[in-house]
Amino acid sequence: MTESRIMRPLIEAIHSTSTQSVVYIAGGASHAVGWLTSVPGASNTLLEALVPYSRMAMIQLLGKIPAQFADSSTAEEMALVAYNRALKICKPGCPVLGVGFTGSLATTRPKQGDHRFHLCTRTSNRLWLSTVTLSKGLRTREEEEILSSQFLLKAIAGASKAPIDFTPELKELDMSTERERLFSEDEELEQLLDGKICFKVYDFTSEGKSSSAERKIILPGSFNPLHEGHLQLMEVASSLLGNGYPCFELSVVNADKPPLTKSQIKERVKQFEMADKTVIISNQPYFYKKAELFPGSAFVVGADTVVRLINPKYYDGSYNRMIEVLLKCKNTGCIFIVGGRNVDGVFKVLEDISIPDVLKDMFIPIPADKFRMDISSTELRRNRD
């Protein structure tokens, strides 16, 4: 029986989960991706796999020179980069997993150091790290590759909560250590505020886990407070687009104000829990950065936002810079669904705004007879106070 057939029940169990993974491996575990993709259902699991084998490839992946290339801290950093990548490209509503693996296995020449590998998995609230040191001279390179690949799949299965267990076989003199860290909500928000993770999803809907939508429909805002206008605008935009995954997006960073505190974030999140809606907490206030976070998404905005988006004064006064930035948004597959809003005291819809020809197909109007509500969070706060 081949190794791939031995691993098949574990791989099928991994594919049966809703977790989607990005996997970065270097220095070993070369069979793992092939085994994953050889079993039907791999598209349920694998978003992307990358082998940054060379020194420069690893430096580019991490954005820095690691202290050591085959090291537990490097595996942890790889897993974090993979996790952030998975957040950006996953199917809406799916839990995501980042996997990092780096090893120093048998080569054609004797090694002075240990034969070892390090692997790390990162989910939204869990980091798991393992180091395996292999007895020298007891296995060929191929056997070490197979063993490290088995450990990698076991780690993916564990992080995905696959309904099957598997334990790779170690020899008496081999050593294996592992540690786990669970993150509280406050710790996740601290990581977000520090820029370590790019966003956090609060899914308070029942349909999110089974959604077939490929595109996020995102309504950004400060939501201080969330009001009926937000909810109606999202409902109309979602019906206009058809199959999409509706979610609200709150940035903890504002270009003109101090960052939100953890307590402020949690207070605003409570509104979405009460409304049974999904909200994404991000750390990007600018749309060209949001487009990088949420490629292929449809952003739901008011006409007042569009006026600012195409105003060169927000691009150092450069019309060409404005076009360049918005074309980058367009190239990510993002579009804007535009509802009518008051602009300088006058109600305007998309047709009232002069959009550059090269950008026009990025903007889709919401007819005024479908949605018009002039209420704003600012007015609600003023009336409340």
DSSP letters, 141-164, are: HHHHHHHHHHHHHHHHHHHHT-S-
Tell me the whole-structure pTM to 2 decimals: 0.93
Please report the pLDDT score of residue 1 as a whole number: 47
Question: From the CB of residue 269, how many other CB atoms can be counted at a distance below 10 Å?
Answer: 20
Q: Residue 212, SS3?
A: coil
Measured in Å, how far apart are the chain's first and last C-alpha atoms?
73
Nearest Cα residue to 55 out of 74, 35, 32: 74
248 forms bridges with which residues in the sheet?
219, 279
pLDDT reported for residue 383: 56
All residues at 6 or more sequence positions from 333 whose CB lies less than 8 Å from its CB, including other chains:
295, 296, 297
Buried b (16+ CB within 10 A) or exposed e, 155-176: bbbbbbebeeebebeeeeebee
Q: Is 306 exposed, middle or buried (0-12, 13-18, 19+ CB in 10 A)?
A: buried
Quote the pLDDT of residue 361: 97
CA–CA distance, 131 with 360 (Å, rounded to integer) = 53
What pLDDT, on the 0 to 100 scale, is given for residue 69?
A: 95
pLDDT at 374: 63
Give me the pLDDT at residue 109, please. 77
Amino acid letter, 72: S
**DSSP secondary structure code for residue 254 in this structure:** B
CA 354, CA 358: separation in Å to the nearest integer? 12
Peptide bond into 225 cis (omega under 30): yes
The answer to whether the CB of 230 falls within 8 A of the CB of 248 is yes
Nearest CA to 289 out of 325, 341, 322, 258 is that of 325
DSSP strand pairing (115-122 vs 126-134): antiparallel
CA 372/CA 180 separation, integer angstroms: 50
Q: What are the domain boundaries of the chain?
A: 3-182, 186-384
The pLDDT of residue 324 is 97
Distant-in-sequence, close-in-space partners of 147: CB < 8 Å, separation ≥ 6? 132, 134, 139, 168, 169, 170
Using a 10 angstrom Cβ sphere, with 0-12 exposed, 13-18 middle and 19 or more buried, the burial of residue 292 is middle
Closest CA to 151 of 183, 117, 125: 117
Domain 3-182 and domain 186-384 have a common topology: no
Contact indicator for 133, 106 with CB cutoff of 8 Å = no
- Amino acid at site 236: V
Residue 353 CA to residue 170 CA, distance in Å, equals 67
CATH class of 186-384: alpha beta
Residue 73: count of CB within 10 angstroms of its CB: 14
Task: Specify the pLDDT at position 257.
Answer: 83
Position 270 scores a pLDDT of 98
User: What is the pLDDT tens value at each position of the chain, 385 positions in all?
Assistant: 477 788 999 999 999 999 999 999 999 999 999 999 999 999 999 999 999 999 999 999 999 999 999 999 999 999 999 999 999 999 998 999 999 999 999 987 777 789 999 999 999 999 999 999 999 989 999 999 999 999 999 999 999 999 988 999 999 999 999 999 999 999 999 999 999 999 999 999 875 544 678 899 999 999 999 999 999 999 999 999 988 999 999 999 987 789 999 999 999 999 999 999 999 999 999 999 999 999 999 999 999 999 999 999 999 999 999 999 999 999 999 999 999 988 888 999 999 999 999 999 999 999 988 887 665 555 545 555 5
CATH 3.30.450.20 fits 3-182, yes or no: no
DSSP H or E run through 100: strand 96-104
